[in-house]
Amino acid sequence: MPLVQRGPGDKSDSRYCGVESGFEDDVAHLLASNLSAGFDFMVFPLIEPNYRPSLHKVDHGGDFVLPVSGSDLILSPSQWSSHVVGKISSWIDLDSVDEVLRLDSEITLKQEIAWASHLSLQACILPSPRGAHCGNYARCINQILQGLNNMQLWLRIPLEKSDPDVDDNTSENSGHLGGGRVIDAWEMWNTFRLLCEHHCQLSLALDIFRSSLPSANSLGRWFGEPVRAAIVHTNSFLTNAKGFPCLSKPHQKLMTGFFNHSVQIILSGKLQRKVPPVSSEHLGADHDGNCFEVMPSDPLRPYLNYIGCLYQKMGPLPEQERFELNYRDFLQSPLQPLMDNLEAQTYETFEKDTVKYSQYQRAVHKALLDRIPDEKASSVITVLMVVGAGRGPLVRASLQAAEETGRKLKVYAVEKNPNAVVTLHSLIKIEGWENLVTVVSSDMRCWDAPEKADILVSELLGSFGDNELSPECLDGAQRFLKPDGISIPSSYTSFIQPVTASRLYNDVRSHKDMQHFETAYVVKLHRVARLAPSQPVFTFVHPNNSTEKGNQRYKKMLFEIPSDTGSTLVHGFAGYFDATLYKDVHLGIEPSTATPNMFSWFAIFFPLRSPIYLPSGSPLGVHFWRCCGATKVWYEWCITAPTPSPIHNSNGRSYWVGL
């Protein structure tokens, strides 16, 4: 049964916990006992561990049969698929200097994966590379991946602290180098996946031991990688004051991170200590989060229930996260607001974001108080123009602000979408705003306003601030704003941040063309590693009183990755914005200042055609351009350090926003 449910919307794979077992002839009994103990699936070797092809040579026509764990008929197809993860033999060493062992390893690897594929298993766990040099192992896996069905291969990698002074020329032994020094686990993984061409069916299973964990920044790299499972060994558990198993605080934090990123937990090992006898089943947690439940008939049950209790402690997903679940790591093309008219469903989604409109209402509220003193509140009428009025949420927010402040308001609602204009007229009639609101069916850049506005309100911001052409639109509308008039928003700044995003990279790569790698996508970032704090890119101010009216921009940046992160791979950039609506009223999605509980905008993702390897301690040099032509606006971007990349989207050949 799954770990405790975290409330409505809990669809995470991480609520399923597995157990690693040894080879067993009676698979049906093994599965039944593990399922009855509360585990959801099991990991076990598919072939008898002592089998070696070189010891079982037979002539053609011989009757040799692979020593597998029973036939495929022992379990039903759905049981094999849902409850079994295959474990490829751990003795395999495809880079051994012993030719017999190397050949035996290659034959066995292919036999076992063929058998697992025959069983329709969802995944198989591959043994860890024996050291830094894994070229032949990766070659064999890459060959297999080319013809594999939908099964995933999870490369087992030990998550251990690494020695920064590792010498790759020393001898190798089970992931450790000469002198007891440990290869950086991420480097091991990165070498392997590069040799396998970033194949989307190659994922990770991380071994978690009791030894001290790497730094938080180093661990953070893994959340942008395709980690499917964390194998937690029973010897990594401590014992709490009551004598029950528990994990250290760093290990608990790591488990929470795995839960949040849909990483499944697999328990491995045996009962390390005898738990105190109790008269009945008990579940609880002390103030340190040490959870326990005792079922003497199953030695691993205390560990399972501890993991379940950690999962339960996270509580239900907030409403916003439940709303965003289906959008996680899903690439969407940005809107073309000037070329296309939005659909009713899109308007409805945006209008549900009460936080955004509350901030706009606050901004208009403050602007009205500053604009009109109390003694003139009943005699002066403020002219407010909503440009890009949509179906009217900003009109409503502005009128509510006027009511709160006791100020008189005359509103022009300017909207180019004729379908939305129909809804605007209906709204005004329903609300009785005929004497307050005038609907204008026109592009704001073409409209000839009958009078000047005191306040200009718009919601033209995109995920990157200016990427839906707010600067061009507001510059065009500025002609009907009074010289001392107020623009809401008054300014906005875009930000970028380098990220590891293996899943997003593979999704873009699946299109097999350059165009998709030179396109910016709107995406709810989830399985990404943010490698450094974001930096500002382009800023626009309204009204624009600069003598230079052009909206072209260029920015070069240098990102310093924290020294304890280690080496990493940059797949692209996450883009955000932060906007000042009026004075101290702001809204935005830049992580350090993001407006809480606002869901109108997801981040934007600028991919790289080829991921950039960033050695530990190396700065990342980045260049971004905002380019403007007669009919379009586009971005170009590149990396210049530590190694140069091509300039992406030159002349807007792949991605642009139409004027």
Q: Residues forming the annotated binding site for S-adenosyl-L-methionine?
A: 347, 356-357, 415, 443-444
Cα angle, residue 619 at apex, residues 616 and 623 outer, rounded to 5°: 140
CB count in 10 Å sphere of residue 542 = 22
Whose tokens are 């960033």? That residue is 614
Binding-site positions read: 347, 356-357, 415, 443-444
- Tell me how far CA of residue 49 lies from CA of 44, 91, 175, 233, 480, in angstroms: 11, 8, 21, 20, 80
Give, as one character, the DSSP assignment of residue 313: H
340 burial (CB, 10 Å; 0-12 / 13-18 / 19+) is: exposed
- Cα separation, 209 vs 222, in Å, equals 16
From 20, 225, 459, 518, active-site residue: 459
Residue 219: strand, helix, or coil = helix
Give the side-chain half-sphere CA count within 13 A for 581. Answer: 22
From 20, 468, 472, 590, active-site residue: 468
Cα 35 versus chain centre, distance: 31
Query: Do the strands 84-87 and 123-126 form a parallel or antiparallel pair, or are they unpaired?
Result: parallel
Beta-bridge mates of residue 648: 637
- Tell me how far CA of residue 411 lies from CA of 139, 371, 394, 461, in angstroms: 68, 15, 10, 21
Dihedral of alpha carbons 442, 447, 448, 453, sign? positive
Tell me, yes or no, if 459 is annotated catalytic: yes
Helices then strands, each counted (H, E), the chain:
16, 30
Token reading at 400: 């509510």
Residue 416: strand, helix, or coil = coil
**Closest by CA position to 382, among listed 337, 347, 412, 357:** 412
- Cα separation, 599 vs 353, in Å, equals 6
> If DSSP states are collapsed to H, E and C, what string results for 46-66?
CECCCCCHHHCCCCCCCCCCC
Cα angle, residue 119 at apex, residues 118 and 123 outer, rounded to 5°: 105
Whose tokens are 């609101």? That residue is 437
Which residues are known catalytic residues? 459, 468
